[in-house]
């Protein structure tokens, strides 16, 4: 998963101080560790003080409208998905100073798909690829296009269970295109279709994800 918030536009405000371990977010989530941090936000491991479990908290730093709208859209789209191969959104909220946050399941010792399969045989690689396709298919059935499928957003836990993660660039096929305008390139070039690289309307089509899956399959078969 991309913990850097690199998909959020630059903010003219200086970055805020990273939240330190021990701080409680939303009156419930006590920070244990910082998993990743960037100019626009950070991802934290936190204890859920109500339910006694460890979760991931994705916290936006920016106060600009566009990054905030994108972040909230990520929350809405992730919340619309329920599937064993898609990361689960558990909750969301806003800090007292107005910064939105998302609470996600924290996977058990996750590693990117390409790292996990490094020494695995073909049958394991194909099982994991099939599970990725099931997760992406569930998103498409809900009208959600991921738009940034790549190994670092496909995490495998210590039990060999894979999940599609990080819907920060995702869109709904039928929503207004205000945040996904044409001539705007989003995603990771190696996994993007020609249409997506050109920034055409097809960058909101499920076909973009299918192309990315094809690249992923090629890597799994040849690496």
Q: Catalytic site residues? A: 148
Q: Vertex 137, ends 194 and 87: CA angle to 5°?
A: 100
Name residue 46's beta-bridge partners: 31, 55
- String of DSSP letters for 91-132: EEEE-TTS-EEEEEE--SS-EEHHHHGGG--HHHHHHHHHHH
* Sequence-separated (6 or more) residues with CB below 8 Å from residue 154: 112, 113, 132, 162, 163, 164, 165, 216
Strand 41-48 to 53-60 pairing: antiparallel
The tokens describing 79, both together, are: 């919340």
Cα–Cα distance between 219 and 82 in angstroms, integer? 27
Distances in Å between the Cα of 159 and the Cα atoms of 62, 110, 111, 156 are: 36, 9, 11, 8
The answer to whether 44 and 53 are in contact (CB under 8 A) is no
């Amino acid at each position: 998963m991309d913990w850097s918030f690199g998909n959020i536009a630059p903010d003219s405000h200086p970055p805020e101080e990273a939240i330190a371990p021990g701080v409680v977010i939303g009156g419930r989530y006590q920070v244990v560790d910082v998993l990743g941090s960037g100019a626009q936000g950070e991802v934290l491991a936190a204890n859920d003080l109500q339910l006694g479990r460890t979760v991931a908290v994705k916290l936006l730093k920016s106060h600009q409208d566009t990054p905030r709208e994108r972040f909230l859209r990520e929350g809405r789209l992730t919340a619309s998905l329920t599937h064993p191969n898609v990361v689960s959104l558990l909750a969301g909220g806003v800090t007292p100073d107005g910064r939105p946050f998302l609470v996600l399941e924290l996977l058990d010792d996750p590693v990117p798909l390409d790292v996990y399969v490094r020494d695995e045989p073909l049958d394991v690689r194909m099982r994991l690829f099939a599970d990725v396709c099931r997760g992406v298919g569930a998103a498409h059935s809900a009208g959600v296009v991921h738009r940034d499928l790549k190994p670092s957003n496909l995490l495998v836990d210590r039990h060999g269970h894979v999940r599609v993660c990080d819907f920060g660039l995702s869109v709904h096929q039928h929503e207004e295109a205000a945040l996904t305008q044409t001539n705007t390139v989003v995603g990771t070039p190696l996994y993007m279709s020609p249409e997506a690289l050109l920034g055409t309307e097809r960058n909101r089509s499920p076909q973009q994800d299918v192309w990315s899956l094809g690249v992923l399959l090629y890597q799994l078969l040849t690496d």
